[in-house]
């Protein structure tokens, strides 16, 4: 007869930088490979579509104990998620997330930034954080903190030219990430400073 | 992005709705046999709606899609169903903002716009529900283009 499968336990949602994952503890059946199916229910399904559930795009089914639901959660509304174990024709009960998840609560980390001086050129490299992100860069000449300049970067390219520096002067840069879809920003990255080539030469 | 619907200024993220619709547009429109009829543009285009009425008409249209359209668009294709779900949930989120703005600014529909919305409902009721829903969904870009003009 069919195995009686327990529902997965310890289910939770991890969301960082607009990447959302549902995770759970494995259901162990000796000598067998258990699979899992994940479904989602947005506010629309709950309130306007008879409480229906939508199968996830990545995990219907999967043998992993984590499911990337980023593409499935494409609206800033409250979602519920559920997962069940499957083995052959056997299905466990569904395990459903306790509360709701809204992507506006994703945790945003400061962008990874590298500041370079190439001769007189102030250059910046930004790590790509995904299509949902744009960046605000603040830069200034050391000692002239009252004249901070700002640049918004909507698409990350390899290297970004920020400014042409005065010989021997030191320039500082910091950056924060912004997600327009949820209208939130990360904290600023640590400030990085570099010195332009050249400088005062001694006239003998 | 900031949209100006008459007195309402609302920040809406339409990028994902547009991307979701673009991904299923051909599939949805292929299910619409009656190409000669339009739900949103018959007999007059949305572009004839006066600017002060845009807030009210847009809110009505979002309610129209949430209450009448999306639920009758279930397909046998899980990819399409997922995209419709994302669009529907995004519409709920946007409608909430529009509703708040409408209340704060007391946006009311003028006579012409009320008539226009009645015409849309009449066009919809004139077809069987699945055909009407699929046609309306297939015309989503007409609504999105009209809204983009409000930026």
- Rounded Cα distance, A13 and B56, in Å: 37
Who among A54, A60, A181 is closest to B13 (CB)? A181
Pick the closest to residue B93 from A86, A183, A28, A15 (CA basis): A183
Query: Quick one: pLDDT at residue A204?
Result: 42
Chain A residues in contact with B92 (beta carbon < 8 A): 42-44, 47-48, 75, 77
Q: Is A94 helix (H, G, I), strand (E, B) or coil?
A: coil
Residue A36, strand partner residues: A62, A85
Query: Quick one: pLDDT at residue A13?
Result: 97
Under 8 Å between Cβ of B150 and B52 = no
Predicted TM-score (pTM) of the model is 0.89
Nearest chain A Cα to B19, which residue? A74
Question: What DSSP line would sit under A107-160, residue for residue?
Answer: B-PPPPEEEEEETTEEEEEE----TTEEEEEEEEETT-TTS-EEEEESS--S-E
Q: Are strands A192-195 and A170-179 parallel, antiparallel or unpaired?
A: antiparallel
pLDDT tens-digit map of B21-69: 999 999 999 998 777 889 999 888 888 888 888 888 898 999 999 999 9
Nearest chain B Cα to A51, which residue? B71
Cβ-defined contact of A48 to B86 (cutoff 8 Å): no
Residue partners of A201: CB distance under 8 A and separation at least 6:
none
Cβ-defined contact of B92 to A183 (cutoff 8 Å): no
Query: Which of B9, B66, B85 to mutate to test binding with chain A, by most A CBs within 10 Å of its CB?
Result: B85
Cβ-defined contact of B70 to A48 (cutoff 8 Å): yes
Question: Across chain B, what does the average pLDDT equal?
Answer: 89
The structural domain count of chain B equals: 1
Query: Quick one: pLDDT at residue A151?
Result: 96
Query: Which of A46, A71, A75 to mutate to test binding with chain B, by most B CBs within 10 Å of its CB?
Result: A75
Q: Is B78 on the interface with A (CB under 8 A)?
A: yes
Per-residue pLDDT of chain A (204 residues; tens, 9 = 90+): 567 899 999 999 999 999 999 999 999 999 999 999 999 999 999 999 999 999 999 998 999 999 999 999 999 999 999 999 999 999 999 999 999 999 999 999 999 999 999 999 999 999 999 999 999 999 999 999 999 999 999 988 889 999 999 999 999 999 999 999 999 999 999 999 999 988 665 444
Q: Is A130 on the interface with B (CB under 8 A)?
A: no
- For residue B123, give its domain range: 2-149
Cβ-defined contact of B85 to A54 (cutoff 8 Å): yes
Distance from CA of A78 to the nearest CA of B (A): 9
Who among B78, B79, B86 is closest to A75 (CB)? B86
- Rounded Cα distance, B5 and B55, in Å: 4
Cβ-defined contact of B79 to A57 (cutoff 8 Å): yes
DSSP A100: -
Q: Is A76 on the interface with B (CB under 8 A)?
A: yes
Question: What DSSP line would sit under B80-141, residue for residue?
Answer: HHHHHHHHHHHHHHHHHHHHHHHHHHT----HHHHHHHHHHHHHHHTS-HHHHHHHHHHTHH
Q: Is B63 on the interface with A (CB under 8 A)?
A: no
Query: Which of A71, A76, A80, A181 to mutate to test binding with chain B, by most B CBs within 10 Å of its CB?
Result: A76
Domain at B36, CATH number: 1.20.1250.10
Query: Quick one: pLDDT at residue A2?
Result: 64
Q: Is B30 on the interface with A (CB under 8 A)?
A: no
Query: Quick one: pLDDT at residue B109?
Result: 82
Cβ-defined contact of A181 to B91 (cutoff 8 Å): no
Q: Is A49 on the interface with B (CB under 8 A)?
A: yes
Q: Residue B100: which pLDDT band, with cuts at 50, 70 and 90?
A: confident
Query: Quick one: pLDDT at residue A158?
Result: 82
Query: Quick one: pLDDT at residue A1?
Result: 55
- Rounded Cα distance, A85 and A92, in Å: 5
ipTM of the complex: 0.90
Chain B residues in contact with A44 (beta carbon < 8 A): 66, 70, 85, 88-89, 91-92
């Amino acid at each position: 007869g069919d195995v009686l499968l327990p529902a997965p336990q310890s289910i939770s949602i991890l969301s960082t930088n607009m990447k959302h994952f549902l995770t759970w503890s494995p259901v162990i059946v000796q000598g067998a490979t258990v699979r899992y199916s994940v479904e989602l229910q947005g506010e629309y399904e709950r309130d306007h579509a008879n409480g229906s559930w939508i199968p996830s795009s990545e995990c219907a089914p999967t043998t992993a104990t984590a499911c990337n639901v980023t593409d499935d959660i494409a609206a800033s509304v409250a979602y519920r998620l559920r997962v069940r174990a499957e083995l052959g024709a056997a299905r466990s009960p569904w395990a459903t997330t306790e509360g709701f998840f809204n992507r506006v609560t994703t945790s945003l980390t400061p962008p990874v930034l590298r500041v370079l001086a190439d001769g007189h050129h102030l250059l910046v490299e930004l790590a790509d954080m995904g299509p949902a992100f744009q960046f605000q860069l603040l830069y200034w000449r050391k000692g002239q903190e009252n004249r901070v300049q700002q640049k918004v970067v909507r698409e990350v390219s390899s290297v970004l030219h920020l400014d042409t520096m005065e010989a021997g002067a030191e320039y500082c840069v910091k950056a924060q990430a912004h997600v327009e879809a949820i209208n939130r920003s990360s904290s600023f990255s640590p400030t990085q400073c570099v010195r332009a080539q050249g400088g005062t030469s001694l006239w003998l | 992005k900031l949209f100006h619907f008459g007195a309402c200024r609302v920040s809406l993220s339409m990028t994902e709705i547009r991307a979701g619709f673009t991904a299923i547009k051909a599939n949805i429109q292929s299910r619409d046999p009656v190409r000669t009829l339009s739900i949103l543009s018959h007999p007059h285009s949305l572009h004839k709606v006066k600017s002060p009425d845009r807030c009210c008409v847009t809110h009505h249209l979002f309610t129209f899609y949430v209450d009448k359209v999306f639920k009758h668009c279930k397909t046998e294709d899980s990819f399409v169903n997922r995209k419709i779900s994302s669009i529907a949930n995004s519409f709920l989120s946007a409608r909430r903002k529009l509703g708040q703005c409408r209340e704060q600014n007391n946006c009311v529909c003028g006579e012409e716009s009320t008539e226009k919305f009645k015409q849309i409902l009449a066009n919809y009721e004139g077809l069987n529900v699945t055909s009407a829903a699929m046609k309306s969904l297939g015309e989503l870009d007409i609504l999105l283009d009209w809204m983009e003009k409000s930026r």
